[in-house]
Amino acid sequence: MYDYTIIGAGIIGSLIARELSKYDLNVLVLEKENDVANVQTRANSAIVHSGHDPQYGTLKAKLSVLGNKLYDDLEKDLHISLLKTGAYVCAHDKDEEDILNDLYENAKLNKVNDMEFLNLSQAQLSEPNLSDDITKVLSLPTTKVCFPWEVAFFALENAINNGVELIRNSEIISIDHKNDIYILKDQNDQIYESKAIINAAGVYSDDIKDMIEDDAPFKITPRKGEYFVLDKSVRGFINHVLYPLPSKKGKGVLVTPQVHGNILLGPTSELVDDKGSISTSKTGLTYIKQHVTALAKNIPFELIIRSFAGVRATSTYKDFYIKESTSHKGFYHVAGIDSPGITAAPAIAKYLVDEIIKIKLPIKDSFTPTIAKKIVFNHLTKEEKIKKQKENPLYGRIICKCEHITEQEIIDAIHGPLGSDTIKGIKKRARAGSGICQGGYCESLIVKIIARETNKDLTQVDYDQKNTPILYKETKVSS
């Protein structure tokens, strides 16, 4: 019997798990995917917004400004990667400047700090590639960029270290409420019993709600966003997050530097029928190319190394829906968490636990808020490298040449509390295969390392989901 069961291991579920792991409670996290952070949290702009955009007075506004501040704590405790970029919101003419002024007033009410207006030449001093037809810029220095999968991984790893349990490949398909106990069933007919439930299922949060409530205060109206990724050799081309003016469709097509040096171009914003569809389209990708040029000139499109899409959990409620169920006590919805959900995530977790659930327990003695810093070998100093290599020679063998990832880092990604045995899982953890050749050379080496470390046949090594081996069969079996 669990005290709390969290449905969904995106950034929201993971940070809630960490928040609950402070107390002497039995906490379970259930995730339908083969890996943590595989849905919205995998495919977004990664921006920790300053909180300028959500309308004053909303939960979104309050939690994103607070979330932005809490990221500095996560940096200290979990050693997450954080790029302090600042942002420019760019206006192109008088009409747009009026909207920019309104945005500034809204941001001031939201208590966003250190904002200022710049003209084009002032802005181009720090961003020479800013488009020449921009007339006025709102500078938002508190804007940052994180690496969302990493935040979810490290938060959940920390939670696991503090006693939380995680089960992957477990999709909840029905929930019963009997004698104050919730009975959850997954697609394998596994049954879990819990005194309370937290619905952090992202785009599927309304489906989870429908399992327990009839009257619907919200419905997910999914919005897809497509992106291009530029190779990390563009590092420095643009150093701030560049926003156009927001519209009804959202924040528009942006230019966003990433923590590893790449730049994202996108997203689009398209209403879609299928929540699970993360396909890109010719129309979407063309739209991005047409619109980013309003923000930056000389964009090196020839350095595109990948395109992808994510689906936002936008809901008809128009704000985050963080409430206890209207009909079932102890069932908490953390739903409709679309953008700025990454930004607000640490604040959402605190808000839920402190203000909605109102846990009164003391923090347990054994609670440790920190995790050990992950070794990114290439970031070490010469002396540290020599020391590490003495302890473990496999730090000397480079597997992914583009990203400079060593064999030991891949082994570390396979094992550990949140390890993975898939190609995509290793790419998410160690970045092997994220460079310009996209695994062309190293993937075959990684398949072998995974097989060796997990005692599997090469044909059992999955790409991402369960039962997606990249090798179909052995051709010549020696007797």
Ligand X SMILES: Cc1cc2nc3c(=O)[nH]c(=O)nc-3n(C[C@H](O)[C@H](O)[C@H](O)COP(=O)(O)OP(=O)(O)OC[C@H]3O[C@@H](n4cnc5c(N)ncnc54)[C@H](O)[C@@H]3O)c2cc1C
How far apart, in whole angstroms, are the C-alpha atoms of residue 13 and residue 5?
10
How far apart, in whole angstroms, are the C-alpha atoms of residue 227 and residue 46?
12
Contact 332, 323 (CB under 8 A): yes
The residue nearest ligand X at its CB is 341
Stretch that binds other proteins, among 65-73, 108-116, 143-151, 467-475 (CB under 8 A): 467-475
Give 335 or 461: the residue with its C-beta nearer to ligand X. 335
Q: Which of 119, 174, 187, 279 binds other proteins (CB under 8 A)?
A: 279
- Residues 58-95, buried b or exposed e (16+ Cβ, 10 A)? ebbbbbbbbbbebbeebbebbebbbbebbbbbbbbeee
Stretch that binds other proteins, among 75-83, 159-167, 344-352, 442-450 (CB under 8 A): 442-450
From the list other proteins, ligand X, none, pick the one residue 228 interacts with, judged by a Cβ distance below 5 to 8 Å according to partner type. Answer: other proteins
Partners of 332 in the β-ladder: 198, 324
At closest approach, how far in Å is the CB of 35 from other proteins?
Answer: 13
Q: Quote the radius of gyration of the chain (alpha carbons, Å).
A: 23
Sign of CA dihedral 55, 60, 63, 69: negative
Angle at 134 between CA 132 and CA 137, to 5 degrees: 130
> In the stretch 259-278, what mask flags binding to ligand X with x, by CB under 6 A?
--------x-----------
How far apart, in whole angstroms, are the C-alpha atoms of residue 186 and residue 299?
47
Q: Which of 137, 151, 156, 200 binds ligand X (CB under 6 A)?
A: 200
Q: Which of 177, 195, 306, 350 binds other proteins (CB under 8 A)?
A: 306
How far apart, in whole angstroms, are the C-alpha atoms of residue 289 and residue 287?
6
Stretch that binds other proteins, among 61-69, 168-176, 313-321, 389-397 (CB under 8 A): 389-397
From the list other proteins, ligand X, none, pick the one residue 397 interacts with, judged by a Cβ distance below 5 to 8 Å according to partner type. Answer: other proteins
Long-range residue pairs from 277-286, CB within 8 A, at least 24 positions apart, any chain: 277/224, 277/311, 278/43, 278/224, 278/308, 278/309, 278/310, 278/311, 279/309, 280/226, 280/307, 280/308, 280/309, 281/226, 284/224, 284/226, 284/309, 285/226, 285/228
Which residues have a catalytic role annotated?
A: 49
Question: Under rule CB under 6 A, which residues in 288-317 are in contact with ligand X?
Answer: 310-312
Give 19 or 407: the residue with its C-beta nearer to other proteins. 407
> How many of the other CB atoms lie within 10 Å of CB of 57?
12
At closest approach, how far in Å is the CB of 452 from other proteins?
Answer: 13
From the list other proteins, ligand X, none, pick the one residue 278 interacts with, judged by a Cβ distance below 5 to 8 Å according to partner type. Answer: other proteins
Q: Which of 55, 298, 327, 465 binds other proteins (CB under 8 A)?
A: 465
Q: For residue 458, give both structure tokens.
A: 């090469």
Which residues, 6 or more positions from 193, have their beta carbon under 8 angstroms from its beta carbon? Answer: 1, 2, 181, 182, 183, 184
Q: Which of 4, 5, 6, 8 binds ligand X (CB under 6 A)?
A: 8
> In the stretch 113-152, what mask flags binding to ligand X with x, by CB under 6 A?
----------------------------------------
Stretch that binds other proteins, among 22-30, 62-70, 107-115, 456-464 (CB under 8 A): 456-464
Give 4 or 377: the residue with its C-beta nearer to other proteins. 377
Q: Based on the shown chain and the rule CB under 8 A, indicate whether residue 358 belongs to the binding site for other proteins.
A: no
Contact residues toward ligand X (CB under 6 A) are 7-13, 30-33, 38-41, 43-47, 49, 171-172, 200-204, 208, 225, 267, 310-312, 337-343, 401
